[in-house]
Amino acid sequence: MLSSNADSIFWMSRYLERSGNIARYLDVNWHMTLEASDEYDTQWEPLITTTGDIDDFASRYDEASRESAIYFLTSDEDNPNSIISCTKMLRLNAMRVRHIIPTEMWENINIFYHFIKNNVKRPKRIMNNPYDFCLEVKRYNTLIGGIAFDIMDHDEKWNFFNMGRFIERSESTTRILDVKYHVLLPSPGHVGTVLDHVQWNALLKAVDGLESFRQRYGNTSPGKVASFLLLDRLFPSSVLFCLNQAHEHLHAISNTQTWEFSNIAEKQLGQLCNSLSYCTVDDVVEQGLHEFIDDIQIRIGKLQHAITDTFFTGKPRIEKQQFWR
């Protein structure tokens, strides 16, 4: 397929996923603060840290109140990672590949975009109760993802679509874990307090993982949550799960086995999956959770460059042999 089309499908999918993730975080955070004492009302700033935009936020807003945070994350067009910005980019990328994605997919992306655009015109309504708004964002995410699975050919574009979704999700899970860990365990004295439990649950809810966690891991503990979010092989938002999926799709594109590699992107992603596959939560603790996550994030960043370079620039491909030893 055209390099530029692959690029657009990939980013279309990343922006779709990103909008859903923001809606999920926002929703969970909002619910948590409803039952909160003053102590919890400070919980809006970490949320913005999670999306990686705290500097931008701090430069333009006085403080992280519920109103300012919700506005920033949903309706602020100057924030490149707000829901409105994500849906704009989602639609723009979809527009560029409108001829190869199912009409139904385009139509729903278009309706989704207009829904968001109309809603952010009245940000007060979202600030007062973001629940319905977030619910719709999540529903469109599921709907459009479902159309991709059910209607789109499972060909190259489908592989790029999935690769985008899973890479975006893996990054997002690392961020939310990193930030929440900091907030949740400011000092060892906090472990085991009531506050703790509420927040751990919120963290799991934010990645739609509380139910699955309970069923398989039982009660929450920091180590178990870290293990679940980073290394679980079955939970669809765990970092390892996402990267393994991306790995499969990456190899489906070049039609090679996952134990070999034919380009730099395959090499990097294979190494990353391997190092996570043969890792336990004790190894993570030993290295330090923050350092561990930092390393993964850097490697995902490099992977993104490698993907761009390999597929989106339209350079002639390097032959497989050149990579063998």
Partner 1 sequence: MKGNYTFEDYQLQGFYDENIDSTNAPRRSAKLLSRMLETLTSEELVAIQNSADKSFFDLGITFTVYADEMGTEKIFPFDIIPRIIEAQEWERLERGLKQRIHALNLFIDDIYNDQKILDDGVVPRELVEGSPGFFKECMGIKPPQRVWCHITGTDLVRDSDGTFYVLEDNLRCPSGASYVLANRQILKRIFPQVFARSKVRNIEDYPSLLLEMLYEVAPERPGRPSVVLLTPGCFNSAYYEHVFLAQQMGIPLVEGTDLVVDEGYVYMRTTKGLERVDVIYRRINEDFLDPLVFNKDSLIGIPGVMDAYRKGNVTLVNAPGTGVADDKAIYAYVPRIIRYYLDEEPIIPNVPTYLCSEHKDLEYVLDNIGELVVKEVDGAGGYGMLIGPHSSKEMQDAFAQKIRENPRSFVAQPIVSLSRCPVIVEDGFEGRHVDFRPYILHGKEIKIMPGGLTRVALKKGSIVVNSSQGGGSKDTWVLGR
- The contact pattern for partner 1, residues 113-142, with x = CB under 8 A and - = no contact, is -x--x-------------------------
Which of 39, 78, 99, 189 contacts partner 1 by CB under 8 A?
99
Q: Is 103 in the site for partner 1 (CB under 8 A)?
A: yes
Q: Is 152 in the site for partner 1 (CB under 8 A)?
A: no
User: Least distance to partner 1 from the beta carbon of 92, Å?
Assistant: 7
CA proximity to 74, closest of 114, 19, 135: 19
Q: CA 198 from chain center: how many Å?
A: 22
Q: Rounded CA gap, 64 and 72, in Å?
A: 10
- The contact pattern for partner 1, residues 236-255, with x = CB under 8 A and - = no contact, is -----------------x--
Q: Is 151 in the site for partner 1 (CB under 8 A)?
A: no
- Size of the residue set binding partner 1 (CB under 8 A): 27
User: Least distance to partner 1 from the beta carbon of 314, Å?
Assistant: 3
Length of the chain: 325
Token pair in block for residue 256: 């090679």
Nearer to partner 1, 6 or 177 (CB): 6
Q: Is 96 in the site for partner 1 (CB under 8 A)?
A: yes
- The DSSP element (H or E) to which 27 belongs, if any, is helix 3-34
Q: Rounded CA gap, 244 and 192, in Å?
A: 33
Which of 133, 140, 261, 311 contacts partner 1 by CB under 8 A?
311
Helices 222-231, 289-307: crossing angle, 10 deg rounding: 10
Q: Where are the alpha helices (DSSP H) in 97-122?
A: 103-120
Check if the beta carbon of residue 256 is closer than 8 Å to that of residue 266. yes
Q: Which positions touch partner 1 (CB under 8 A)? A: 1-6, 92, 95-96, 98-100, 103, 106-107, 110-111, 114, 117, 156, 253, 311-314, 316-317
